[in-house]
Chain A
Amino acid sequence: MAEVTKGTRIQPSVGVKQKKLSTKSNLHGWLFASPWIIGLLVFFAFPLIASIYFSFTSYSILQPGEFVGFQNYHELFKDDLFWKSIYNTIYFTIFFVPLSIIFGVALAMMLNMKVKGMGIYRTIFFLPTLVPHVALAVLWMWLLNPGFGLINGILDMIGLQVPNWLGSETWSKPSLILMSLWGIGQSVIIYLAGLNDIPEEFYEAAEVDGANWWQKTRHVTLPLLTPVIFFNLVMGAIGAFQQFTLPYTMTQGQGTPANSLTFYVMHLYDNAFKFFKMGYASAMAWILFIIIMSLTAVIFMTSNRWVHYQGK
């Protein structure tokens, strides 16, 4: 502090001007960011705090709740459907997220080739994300119908044994994973953008060194794509834990057969908006939050082992 004053004394005009500028730029910064700062407080910070509080009450829309301590959490741990929904959700996440990364990167690499008509191919791959989820659910229920569905029709022709897909407890989740993989267009777009960001010089240099396609992929493309893979891994895991619309519309909120499609957020939604157990559902939301936060933390911790940033 003393040094700054000394500095101003020697060059008074510069010092004053700089100080003035910084107040001004502070003001501008806050002003430009103000919509989001308000949004952050109103739509995120306040609800977040409110939901902790609710999770310790018996609040419902119909009547003001009482403080019940950890009772909601106690009850949850005794709720069989809660555990079932956690199992279903983890099952889905473990299979879907890695598969979506493998297929996503592979598709993006295909869509990044320089051939004619790429706009059409890209549109086709993106198409499923544009179909409304309700229609998607119905469409797939039907494609997978054991009696007259298209997929079993084809499998039948090849002479394979056909599963009962969505009607069977064993096959319902794999069916859902298949359907979800159909809709990975959004992450493919993000991978494509990442591929676009890789400077051409790297490939040229690799070619000069005589690298073949596989070596280029292994030593140039994939390492430079890791920040994007990392981003999609985090967002994909979070998204997978929040699976809702597809199973909800497909089973009309029932999670059939035998609750094999009751996902965590469906159970949460039912408690909150069907049974109006807002306190109980808030406790569920917080458990979900803690699970996701720990998962994200783990992914972040492993990240400096495998994520490479350009220019480092």
Chain B
Amino acid sequence: MDPKVKIKVQKGFSHVGLIIASAFFIVPFIWMVSTSLKPITQVFSNPPEWIPKPFQWSSYLDAMDYIPFFTYLDNTVVITLLSTFGVVLSCPLVAYSFAKLEWKGRNVIFFITIAVMMIPGQVTMIPLFLIFNEIGWVGTNLPLIVPAFFGVPFYIFLLRQFFLGLPDTLRDAAKIDGASEFRIYWQIMLPLAKPAVLAVGLFQFMASWTDFIGPLLYLTDETQYTLSLGLQQFQTQMGTEWGLMMAVSTMMTVPIIILFFFLQKTFIKGIKFSGIK
């Protein structure tokens, strides 16, 4: 066979495989969006109908009345942005010191950091709750934000891997020019680590945006709820408000999908595993 044709056939097969596998992942999502646009009578039709007839946007409007949507959105945005900012500020700094600076105790503390990654969150959950309760932070969003400013082991690990892969030459040159250690970090090394910082930022953004157990534990007042906690309010004793819940879920999901679509290449570049140990 002509090699050009052979490549075309191979590519064709690749697409078929990808499309079949994609179906498994996208069907539930399409169902979610289609339900949010359906009249309630069509929601339970059997056999299931895919295309809303007629299209109606009322679930979106009704959902915003049913729960204080914009309050929850505000709360979610505040927690997500601040905790992402905290992570992006603290983790590269710490990772850099593990990867590029030489100091006594570095290896021991890095080893402890790796070990900490394996501690189930539930072990520290109760004492942390009690500490936050003691200092009066339960019922505020502070427990969901402040810890991010002190570093997250998994992110520190990922960033360290990335910094290890960066050459030392630029750093040495800047040192000879008399740049301070912090300037070297801030103006040279940190910009080079942009893909990794982005990856970590995106991980935190998504985790925080959809977090359930954190808000469930710490947000006691309904006016502080986040969207993912607020979703639960569509499930009542009387049953579930399908259309409304799916409308809010769609609104929550679509912005991150767009974000991911544009950032996915850089995102994957930011995660480095070679030299892992």
Contact = CB atoms under 8 A, between A and B. Distances in A.
Interface of A: 22, 25-33, 35-40, 42-44, 46-48, 50-51, 54, 61, 107, 110-111, 113, 115, 119-135, 138-140, 142-143, 147-148, 150, 153, 157, 182, 189-190, 192-194, 196-197, 227-228, 231, 234-235, 238, 241-242, 244-245, 249, 252, 265, 268-269, 272-273, 278, 281-282, 284-286, 288-289, 292-293, 296, 309-310
A186 to B, nearest CB: 8
B224 to A, nearest CB: 17
B120 A127 contact: no
B174 interface: no
Contacts of A29: 97, 101-104, 106
B169 interface: no
B149 interface: yes
A25 B94 contact: no
Contacts of B26: 124, 127
17 contacts: A29-B104, A32-B96, A39-B90, A42-B150, A44-B116, A54-B126, A110-B21, A123-B261, A127-B253, A134-B231, A143-B31, A234-B118, A242-B122, A244-B213, A292-B120, A309-B275, A310-B274
Nearest to B89: A35
B140 interface: no
Chain B: number of interface residues, binned into ranges: 35 or more
Contacts of B102: 22, 25-26, 29
A197 B272 contact: yes
Contacts of A127: 25-26, 29, 253, 257
A43 to B, nearest CB: 5
Contact of A197 (B90, B113, B257, B273): B273
Given A32-B93, A35-B149, A135-B231, 16 more contacts: A33-B98, A33-B109, A113-B18, A119-B265, A120-B261, A123-B260, A127-B253, A128-B25, A130-B257, A135-B249, A150-B31, A182-B24, A189-B267, A241-B120, A245-B212, A278-B126
B264 A227 contact: no
Interface string B32-51: 10000000000011111000
A43 B24 CA distance: 39
A138 B27 CA distance: 15
B200 interface: no
Contact of B90 (A30, A35, A182, A288): A35
A27 B180 CA distance: 13
B104 A26 contact: yes
